[in-house]
């Protein structure tokens, strides 16, 4: 069916920008916030309130948008008096005088100038919606929304949904209001109630409103209470189906796939534990090893996530697990995301296993053909018992004699398909132990890794001194450099980290190079090396080894050193432009120091002008070293979409309305419900669960075309 105002061009933009191709996609594109549009102001009120800083009580409830430096969105009713085009080239702009019976305010547009003049006619009365700003004591509103009163959408509450749009959509006259109009037409054309997507017993048990009522009120709330009920209904449904999908997949895998039984703890484990291990395991490490041993002896394939903060001893737990595999006649593999990290794991494990008759090897993309020709046959014959490697391990040429355990370090760096290829390296899939040094909030773990059992190492080895984190403004560099010099005189080493963001890669590399040259001038008596992700692997490895060996005392780098690099003598990390990093990334970087016995420092360098969000991030970093607390705060500040791993997690469908940062209780409720249903009906074959099975199958298809196409 044809939708007024949506031709082929707009339909194509909706498809490319939002992946919206059907009516159903459109009405499941929810507002991200609501603005109260019940109040229409006079121009004179806006002029007065702009001068006084919007201190008036009448703005106190308007969307919670007020800050010290920004004004809230407002509405005016009036007419355009005249247009004027100013400036040339990229400075060209269209201005207009907008007036009512109390005064005049300026409007300004920087794009679509001709189209704006054709669309909005002088003398016609419009309702204007926009955000005032003050520049050189002049008040103006940039790119306002203008509607004639007959097109003005206003429910009984005055609450109007605001929809996320892209720049390309706005340029094609598809701003938030246009999206709202499309949804209005769709809902007006749907005369019957939308079919229900939850079984009646769930609707009654949780007292949720019908789907049709929820969808209509999520877009056009008839009351605040109905908006809240609609949000509750749609969030619960979304989280419930997500958990049902994860848990059903897990149960299916457990039923379909057996696992090797590792019944023995023998010579390899005991000789290492009693001869080579020179210190006591922490209680957390002992607990996790017991959990893993139990998993590997129950006849099912182990799929366990091992979480632990930087320096908590995950690698040692992984080694003990691999030795159990060896004691049961199996081989073990450890896959790391980078050559530097794989090489470091190899060197660490080789040193730990000194004196034991255990064959261990390293395989990366840089492994020479001559070495491969020796290594691959030895692996196939079972001579090599433990192999450490990168993505090279999943190549078809890599064949094992009897692979029983795969350890994956930093799981989120590998795609689902890459990980799955390791399963096929034996007739029965090997046990899987996933390690991450990125603490994952509980709600995110239940979603990203909901199909994995979780073990947490929540204590550090004794004697570790917490890293002191200090925030310093860039203007105080001179004093900072003197403090660094003192550390260098004591024989310590220093990291200086620069951001490297894809959107500004050229400028970032320039800053890195300039920083490298400046550092050499400031510290001429010390050796300085540089490393970044654009270097060839051999170059990175060479520079890294210089720093590890102590040949260079200062390393200028990007976040390529974020994960796994271990230099106990490095006691200082300076993070340039710390405001450009997320909380979890800052915490990961900080984990590169504090690995030795000496007191270590992490210096966060920023400019004075920081947003409120950034100040909060910096404050959290200086207040705590608890990675799990930091991860929870990061989720609240940034949202799950920005956190590493969400794109490669294997989740079958994206969250459209639920928020993992704030809907933790609802997620737990949804997971408990899903578990309860699957324990009673694992295959969802009972008549009352047929709708659940249908919905899951529909959601798992790449694209559902059951509704009218848009256009």
Q: What's the pLDDT at 313?
A: 86
Domain extent for 298: 267-457
- Give the tens place of pLDDT for each residue, 125-161: 998 888 888 777 778 898 888 887 765 554 444 788 8
Radius of gyration of the chain (CA): 30
Q: Is residue 300 part of a domain?
A: yes
Q: Is residue 671 part of a domain?
A: no
Examine the domain organization and report whether 29 and 172 are in the same domain: yes
How much is the pTM? 0.66
Examine the domain organization and report whether 294 and 441 are in the same domain: yes
Torsion of CA 473, 478, 481, 482, to 10 degrees: -130
Examine the domain organization and report whether 453 and 473 are in the same domain: no
- Give the tens place of pLDDT for each residue, 9-49: 888 999 999 988 888 899 999 998 888 777 788 988 888 87
The rounded distance, in Å, linking the Cα atoms of 553 and 551 is 7
Examine the domain organization and report whether 422 and 396 are in the same domain: yes
Q: Is residue 16 part of a domain?
A: yes
Provide the β-strand partners of residue 510.
none
CATH code of residue 149: 2.40.50.140
Examine the domain organization and report whether 163 and 277 are in the same domain: no
Last residue of a domain, one of 432, 457, 482: 457
Q: What's the pLDDT at 114?
A: 87
Examine the domain organization and report whether 445 and 563 are in the same domain: no
User: Which distant-in-sequence residues (6+ apart) come within 8 Å of 556 by Cβ?
Assistant: 496, 498, 512, 515, 516, 519, 528, 529, 530, 531
Examine the domain organization and report whether 531 and 579 are in the same domain: yes
Q: Is residue 683 part of a domain?
A: no
201: phi then psi, degrees, rounded to nearest 5 = -70, -30
Examine the domain organization and report whether 435 and 497 are in the same domain: no
Which residues of the chain register pLDDT less than 70? 1-4, 51-71, 150-157, 411-420, 441-451, 463, 501-504, 562-565, 638-653, 661, 701-711
CATH code of residue 450: 3.40.50.300
Last residue of a domain, one of 388, 423, 457: 457
Examine the domain organization and report whether 33 and 180 are in the same domain: yes
Examine the domain organization and report whether 299 and 417 are in the same domain: yes
Q: Is residue 540 part of a domain?
A: yes
List the structure tokens of 586.
């800052």
Cite the beta strand spans of 315-452 per DSSP E.
331-335, 360-363, 386-389, 403-409, 431-436
CA geometry: angle 144, 131, 178, nearest 5 deg:
40
Is the separation of the CB atoms in 130 and 80 below 8 Å?
no
List the structure tokens of 66.
């007020």
Is the separation of the CB atoms in 564 and 340 below 8 Å?
yes
Q: Is residue 462 part of a domain?
A: no
Examine the domain organization and report whether 451 and 476 are in the same domain: no
Examine the domain organization and report whether 574 and 472 are in the same domain: yes
Q: Is residue 442 part of a domain?
A: yes
What percentage of the chain reaches a pLDDT higher than 90?
40
Q: How many CB atoms lie within 10 A of CB 284?
A: 19
The rounded distance, in Å, linking the Cα atoms of 686 and 665 is 28
Q: What's the pLDDT at 49?
A: 76
- How many domains does one find in the chain? 3
The rounded distance, in Å, linking the Cα atoms of 361 and 371 is 10
Last residue of a domain, one of 429, 457, 485: 457
């Amino acid at each position: 069916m044809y939708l007024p105002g949506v031709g082929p061009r707009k339909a194509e933009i909706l498809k490319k920008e939002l992946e919206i191709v059907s009516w159903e996609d459109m009405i499941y594109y929810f507002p991200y916030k609501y603005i109260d549009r019940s109040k229409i102001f006079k121009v004179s009120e806006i002029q007065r309130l702009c001068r006084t800083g919007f201190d008036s009580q009448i703005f106190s409830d308007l969307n919670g948008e007020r800050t010290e430096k920004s004004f809230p969105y407002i509405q005016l009713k009036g007419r355009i008096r005249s247009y004027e085009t100013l400036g040339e080239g990229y400075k060209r702009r269209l201005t207009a005088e907008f007036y009512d019976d109390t005064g005049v305010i300026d409007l300004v547009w920087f794009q679509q100038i001709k189209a704006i003049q054709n669309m909005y006619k002088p003398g016609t009365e419009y309702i204007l919606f926009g955000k005032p700003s003050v520049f050189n004591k002049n008040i103006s509103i940039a790119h306002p929304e203008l509607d004639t009163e007959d097109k003005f959408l206003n429910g009984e509450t005055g609450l109007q949904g605001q929809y996320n749009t892209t720049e390309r959509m706005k340029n094609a006259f598809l701003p938030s209001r246009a999206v709202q109009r499309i949804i209005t037409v769709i809902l007006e054309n749907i005369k019957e109630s939308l079919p229900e997507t939850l079984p009646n017993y769930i609707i009654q048990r949780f007292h949720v409103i019908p789907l049709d009522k929820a969808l209509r009120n999520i877009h056009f709330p008839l009351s605040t209470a109905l908006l809240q009920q609609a949000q509750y209904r749609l969030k619960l449904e979304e989280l419930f189906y997500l958990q049902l999908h994860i848990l059903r997949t897990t149960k299916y895998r457990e039923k379909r796939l057996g696992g090797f039984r590792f019944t023995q703890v023998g010579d390899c484990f005991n000789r290492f534990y009693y001869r080579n291990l020179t210190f006591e395991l922490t209680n957390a490490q002992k607990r996790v090893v017991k959990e893993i041993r139990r998993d590997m002896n129950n006849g099912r394939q182990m799929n366990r996530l091992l979480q632990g903060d930087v320096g908590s001893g995950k690698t040692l737990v992984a080694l003990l697990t691999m030795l159990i595999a060896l004691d049961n006649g199996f081989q073990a593999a450890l896959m790391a995301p980078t050559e530097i990290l794989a090489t470091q794991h190899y060197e660490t494990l080789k040193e730990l296993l000194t004196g034991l008759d255990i064959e261990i090897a390293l395989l990366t993309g840089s492994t020479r053909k001559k070495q491969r020709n020796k290594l691959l046959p030895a692996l196939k014959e079972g001579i090599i018992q433990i192999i450490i490697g990168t993505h090279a391990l999943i190549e078809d040429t890599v064949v094992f004699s009897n692979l029983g355990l795969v350890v994956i370090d930093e799981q989120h760096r590998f795609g689902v398909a890459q990980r799955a290829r390791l399963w096929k390296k034996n007739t029965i899939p090997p046990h899987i132990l996933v390690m991450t040094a990125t603490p994952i909030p509980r709600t995110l773990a239940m979603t990203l890794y909901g199909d994995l059992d979780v073990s947490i190492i929540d204590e550090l080895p004794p004697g570790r001194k917490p890293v002191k984190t200090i925030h310093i403004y860039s203007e105080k560099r001179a004093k900072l450099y003197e403090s660094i010099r003192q550390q260098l005189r004591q024989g310590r080493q220093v990291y200086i980290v620069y951001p490297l963001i894809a959107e500004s890669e050229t400028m970032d590399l320039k800053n890195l190079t300039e920083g490298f040259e400046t550092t050499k001038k400031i510290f001429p008596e010390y050796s300085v090396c540089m490393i970044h992700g654009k270097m060839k692997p051999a170059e990175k490895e060479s520079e890294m080894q210089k720093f590890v060996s102590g040949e260079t005392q200062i390393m200028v780098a990007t976040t390529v050193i974020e994960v796994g690099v271990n230099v106990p003598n490095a006691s200082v990390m300076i993070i340039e432009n710390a405001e450009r990093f997320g909380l979890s990334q800052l915490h990961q970087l900080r984990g590169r120091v504090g690995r030795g016995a000496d007191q270590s420092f992490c210096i966060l360098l920023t400019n004075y002008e920081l947003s409120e969000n950034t100040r909060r991030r910096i404050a959290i970093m200086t207040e705590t070293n608890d990675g799990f607390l930091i991860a929870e705060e990061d989720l609240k500040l940034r949202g799950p979409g920005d956190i590493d791993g969400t794109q490669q997690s294997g989740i079958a469908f994206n969250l459209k309305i639920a928020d993992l940062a704030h809907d933790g209780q609802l997620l737990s409720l949804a997971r408990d419900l899903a578990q309860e249903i699957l324990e009673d009906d694992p295959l969802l074959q009972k008549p009352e669960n047929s709708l659940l099975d249908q919905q899951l199958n529909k959601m798992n298809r790449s694209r559902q075309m059951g509704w009218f196409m848009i256009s």
